[in-house]
């Protein structure tokens, strides 16, 4: 079990390099955006940003997940044939979206930005969607070949190109926020052109109607699920637009962006590694215990990183967000951090259905959570604004996890350690609330308080019997081995 855990961590760490770098650079963008653009322009940015992600979800058609689920167990020859079918559909989708961007640019501009003319930013959003879709194929090839280093190289190249282009356009040239999206499509476009030889070497011309039908059927419902998930994360911003000023949406957008820090640091790297390891472990003798412990460790890692983030966030936000009018994002960040902790369990539970290729169930249950979220926002946003939206994100995620967990008992059931998950949740909420009560104006004093709260977190986990004996023994062994202090030396 410990070897399996180390292997999972190793793969997660390599895959996580690009995600950690992405989130780190996003922290650079926040002070740049907030220092150069007015709060209402920041609000517009956070309206267009999720829009291209919606487009990407539809254009990509759920292929990132479908490729892994359908190709992982195939022979090299069959895998190349399947990848050709994926490539064919993807190129067709990109062509359709290019036409849509040309024909309906002004319509979407009026709907999203509430302005009738003068901006091409929506067309640029379509281009971001197209080239982010195309670059997904070489990334999936790297995952199928179990080459996390290649995956990180492709992702990091696109990331840093995007970063330098944005710095040039926004910071040095002081261009309109449209140029942010020019940078966002130019970077993956350049990288995709260099990846064309990799794609050619890993596809084989073959039109298989049977496989195409299976792919489209699975991908369609997974695409619907992906859209629903995005709506769960972003629909509240569009509903809020009817009840709060654009400046408040800017605050909420920054809060959501920073609050999703744990997704890049922990959740996405874990999911990229776990999706490949699952199919290798599923038929092994200790598979059930492995998946159960992975869900607990994942939730623990998300909670711990969220707690540390919530404790240091007041100072971090004031450092990175240059406009004081947006500092109220601190409270939203604390809420969104826990919302993502709850949703992290989906990464493991979803494989109960993916293993059986039942994407429909995940889609319909996600729709129930979305309806709950939208209805709640329509009712409560007018009274409680962005805080209602944040709390509803937490409740919607919990509802989705509970529904899927109950249904998964009829498929490949992965048992959760409910007591430990509840204990972690209570500690996060309690310690974050306590940190607000005891917060001081002195940075050094606040740092000391934060350290004490983290120590209390681990002490309460130990008292609450969160750690099993073998885990405590392993922790002690690691401290003795790597710190070389023999703090827990055995006595005869």
The per-residue pLDDT for range 296-311, each reduced to its tens digit, is 999 999 999 999 999 9
DSSP type of residue 173: S
Asked if 333 and 396 sit in the same domain, the reply is: yes
Residue 463 predicted with pLDDT over 90: yes
Determine the distance from the C-alpha atom of residue 116 to the mean position of all C-alpha atoms in its chain, rounded to a whole number.
33
Asked if 73 and 161 sit in the same domain, the reply is: yes
- Give the C-alpha separation, 315 to 311, whole Å: 9
The per-residue pLDDT for range 366-396, each reduced to its tens digit, is 999 999 999 999 999 999 999 999 999 999 9
DSSP type of residue 326: G
Asked if 120 and 267 sit in the same domain, the reply is: no
| 194: in domain | yes
| 492: in domain | no
The per-residue pLDDT for range 317-367, each reduced to its tens digit, is 877 777 787 788 889 999 999 999 999 999 899 989 888 878 789 899 999
Among 228-232, 242-246, 289-293, 470-474, the range scoring the smallest mean pLDDT is 470-474
What value does the mean pLDDT take over residues 168-180?
A: 93
Confidence of residue 172 (pLDDT cuts 50, 70, 90): very high
Q: What pLDDT score does 491 carry?
A: 47
- C-alpha pair distances (Å), 379 with each of 236, 255, 373, 374, 392: 12, 22, 10, 9, 11
Of 187, 207, 227, the residue at which a domain comes to its end is 207
| 219: in domain | no
pLDDT averaged over every residue in the chain = 87
Domain that residue 84 falls in: 37-207
Of residues 314 and 168, the one with the higher pLDDT is 168
Asked if 47 and 193 sit in the same domain, the reply is: yes
Write the burial class of residue 343 (CB in 10 Å: 0-12 exposed, 13-18 middle, 19+ buried).
buried
Question: For residue 146, what are its two tokens?
Answer: 């179990």
The per-residue pLDDT for range 442-453, each reduced to its tens digit, is 888 999 999 999
Asked if 414 and 295 sit in the same domain, the reply is: yes
Confidence of residue 484 (pLDDT cuts 50, 70, 90): low
Nearest to 16 by CA among 117, 198, 159: 159
Of 166, 189, 207, the residue at which a domain comes to its end is 207
Decide: 167 and 29 in contact? Cβ < 8 Å: no
- Give the C-alpha separation, 306 to 336, whole Å: 9
Of 188, 207, 226, the residue at which a domain comes to its end is 207
- C-alpha pair distances (Å), 319 with each of 34, 166, 179, 268: 11, 20, 25, 26
Asked if 100 and 247 sit in the same domain, the reply is: no
Confidence of residue 18 (pLDDT cuts 50, 70, 90): low
Write the burial class of residue 196 (CB in 10 Å: 0-12 exposed, 13-18 middle, 19+ buried).
exposed
Asked if 261 and 298 sit in the same domain, the reply is: yes
| 215: in domain | no
Cα angle 246, 59, 53 (rounded to 5 degrees) comes to 25
The per-residue pLDDT for range 386-432, each reduced to its tens digit, is 999 999 999 999 999 999 999 999 888 899 999 999 999 999 999 99
Q: What pLDDT score does 6 carry?
A: 59
| 487: in domain | no
Asked if 242 and 201 sit in the same domain, the reply is: no
Residue 214 predicted with pLDDT over 60: yes
Asked if 203 and 242 sit in the same domain, the reply is: no
| 113: in domain | yes
Q: What pLDDT score does 492 carry?
A: 43
Asked if 271 and 344 sit in the same domain, the reply is: yes
| 216: in domain | no
Residues 6 or more apart whose CB falls under 8 angstroms from that of 263 comprise 19, 340
- Give the C-alpha separation, 234 to 121, whole Å: 19
- Give the C-alpha separation, 381 to 387, whole Å: 8
Cα angle 135, 141, 147 (rounded to 5 degrees) comes to 115
The per-residue pLDDT for range 46-80, each reduced to its tens digit, is 889 889 988 998 999 888 888 888 888 788 999 99
| 214: in domain | no
Asked if 357 and 456 sit in the same domain, the reply is: yes
- Give the C-alpha separation, 141 to 80, whole Å: 10
CA distance from start to end of the chain = 28
Q: What pLDDT score does 377 carry?
A: 96
Asked if 244 and 312 sit in the same domain, the reply is: yes
Of residues 492 and 131, the one with the higher pLDDT is 131
- Give the C-alpha separation, 251 to 325, whole Å: 8
Residues 6 or more apart whose CB falls under 8 angstroms from that of 124 comprise 178, 181, 182, 184, 185
Of residues 91 and 321, the one with the higher pLDDT is 91
The per-residue pLDDT for range 246-262, each reduced to its tens digit, is 888 888 988 888 888 88
Q: Which long-range contacts (CB under 8 A, 24 or more apart) does 368-371 make?
A: 368/399, 368/400, 368/403, 369/228, 369/232, 369/396, 369/397, 369/399, 369/400, 369/403, 370/228, 370/231, 370/232, 370/235, 370/396
CA dihedral for 279, 157, 100, 106, sign (positive or negative): positive
Of residues 162 and 268, the one with the higher pLDDT is 162
Number of domains in the chain: 2
């Amino acid at each position: 079990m410990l070897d399996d855990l180390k292997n999972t961590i190793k793969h997660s760490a390599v895959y996580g390099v690009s995600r950690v770098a992405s989130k780190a650079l996003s922290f650079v963008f926040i002070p740049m955006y907030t220092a150069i653009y007015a709060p209402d322009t920041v609000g517009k940015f956070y309206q267009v940003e999720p829009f291209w992600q919606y487009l990407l979800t539809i254009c990509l058609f759920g292929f990132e997940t479908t490729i892994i689920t359908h190709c992982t167990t195939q022979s090299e020859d069959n895998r190349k044939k399947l990848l050709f079918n994926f490539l064919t559909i993807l190129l067709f989708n990109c062509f359709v979206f290019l036409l849509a961007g040309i024909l309906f640019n002004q319509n979407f501009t009026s709907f999203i930005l509430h302005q009738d003319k003068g901006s091409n930013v929506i067309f640029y959003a379509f281009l971001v969607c197209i080239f982010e879709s195309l670059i997904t194929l070489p990334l999936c090839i790297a995952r199928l070949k179990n080459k996390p280093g290649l995956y990180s190289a492709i992702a990091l190249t696109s990331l840093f190109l995007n970063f330098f282009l944005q710095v040039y356009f926004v910071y040095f040239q002081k261009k309109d926020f449209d140029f942010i999206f020019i940078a966002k499509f130019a970077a993956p476009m350049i990288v995709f052109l260099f990846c064309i030889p990799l794609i050619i070497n890993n596809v084989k011309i073959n039109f298989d109607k049977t496989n195409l039908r299976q792919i489209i059927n699975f991908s369609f419902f997974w695409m619907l699920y992906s859209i629903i998930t995005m709506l769960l994360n972003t629909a509240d911003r569009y509903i809020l637009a009817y009840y709060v000023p654009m400046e408040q949406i800017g605050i909420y957008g920054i809060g959501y962006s920073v609050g999703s820090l744990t997704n890049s640091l922990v959740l996405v790297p874990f999911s990229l590694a776990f999706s490949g390891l699952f199919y290798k472990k599923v038929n092994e003798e200790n598979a059930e215990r492995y998946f159960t412990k992975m869900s607990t460790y994942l939730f623990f890692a998300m909670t711990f990183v969220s707690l540390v983030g919530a404790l240091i966030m007041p100072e971090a936000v004031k450092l990175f967000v240059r406009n004081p009018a947006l500092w109220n994002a601190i409270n939203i960040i604390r809420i969104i951090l826990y919302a993502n902790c709850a949703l992290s369990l989906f990464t493991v539970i979803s494989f109960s259905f993916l293993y059986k290729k039942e994407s429909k169930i995940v889609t319909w249950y996600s729709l129930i959570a979305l309806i709950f979220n939208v209805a709640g926002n329509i009712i409560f946003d007018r009274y409680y604004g962005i805080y209602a939206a944040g709390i509803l994100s937490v409740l919607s995620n919990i509802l989705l996890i509970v529904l899927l967990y109950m249904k998964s008992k009829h498929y490949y059931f992965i048992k959760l350690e409910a007591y430990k998950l509840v204990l972690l949740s209570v500690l996060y909420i309690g310690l974050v609330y306590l940190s607000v009560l005891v917060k001081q104006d002195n940075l050094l004093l606040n740092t000391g308080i934060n350290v004490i709260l983290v120590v209390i977190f681990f002490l309460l986990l130990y008292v609450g019997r969160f750690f099993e004996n073998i885990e405590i023994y392993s922790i002690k062994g690691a401290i003795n081995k790597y710190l070389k202090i023999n703090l827990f030396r055995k006595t005869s």
